[in-house]
Amino acid sequence: MKTDYSNNNVVRISTSYSISATLNQLKRRKAKMKLRGLMISLLAVGLLTLNPSFAAAEKFAALYVGGAFTTNEDIDISASGGKDTAKADFDNSFTVGYRMGYWFEPLPWLGLALDVSYFAPDYDNGDLDIIPLTGLVMFRLPLMKSKDYPKGQLLPYVGVGPGAFFSKIKYDVANSAVPALLKKPPFSGNYSDWTLDIGLDVRAGLSRMFGHNRAVFLEYRFTKFSPDFKDNVLGQTVRTETDLNTHNVLIGFSYNF
């Protein structure tokens, strides 16, 4: 018996592939638009932060160190052969960061800042390096005002903003589900990729002034984002996805000028 590949079947298959390709293009375009919007927002905050002509304000720069505690989450590894989900026990990490910004003179309770930091929540089988770049809208409450401290000596504050999270992953596929997903016998090799994802950054802290322009502060920070890594393994695309929810406890020093 001869199989009849009719024109109708060809049209259906062609249309199906065309729709799938169009949907993938729309998804990629939407992701690019979101990332472009975030980068424009960060650039706007950066310009306001770095260029005094844009705002009359009380400028500051701050350095901080502390601990980053990432909650344990599932890690999904997927390829053409299926998907595997495993629980990841993320390590506690040292973190360090730098922040600069303004408190506006007409509205001394309102500020803008640009923040960059680093932490490394490695897990059982892999190494992770994270660099968040965040634009923050900040609010503070001036307490203990006096002649020496007209803007307050004790300053509780909060900050929130979108972040661009640069992430790098590296792990040995021999200790993962990759060989099974590719339907291959066990083999060794490095899986490696970096990605840029949009996330959330929220903070709350307490700053105490000493002198007229110096302060020490304690701060709690929470960051949330979902990296999506891709690498080519034996000619096939392997994706590694997870959620990174991180609590930070920070201590720092700031200088107002």
Element (H, E) at 112: strand 110-118
Whether the CB-CB separation of 60 and 246 falls below 8 Å is answered with no
Would you say 156 and 208 are in contact if contact means Cβ atoms under 8 Å apart?
A: no
| Three-class DSSP labels, 175-209 | HCCHHHHCCCCCCCCEEEEEEEEEEEEEEEEEEEE
Collapsing DSSP states into helix, strand and coil, what is residue 54? helix
Say how far apart CA 185 and CA 187 lie, in whole Å.
6
**Nearest residue to 230 (alpha-carbon basis) of 164, 166, 168:** 168
pLDDT tens for residues 47-65? Answer: 555 555 544 678 999 999 9
Helix (H) or strand (E) holding 33: helix 7-50
Q: What is the mean pLDDT of residues 11-15?
A: 37
Joined tokens for residue 43: 């650039």
Q: Listing from the earlier edge strand, what are the strands of the sheet with 82-88?
A: 82-88, 73-79, 236-242, 228-233
Task: Kindly report the CATH number that applies to the domain delimited by 9-256.
Answer: 2.40.160.20
User: CA 129, CA 122: separation in Å to the nearest integer?
Assistant: 8
> Which of 11-15, 35-39, 85-89, 177-181 has the weakest average pLDDT?
11-15
- Give the start-to-end residue ranges of the domains of the chain: 9-256
The string of pLDDT tens digits covering residues 130-163 is 999 999 999 999 999 998 888 889 999 999 999 9
């840029």: which residue's tokens?
Answer: 196
pTM score, whole prediction: 0.80
For residue 161, the cross-strand partners are 201
What would the two tokens of residue 187 be? Answer: 């083999």
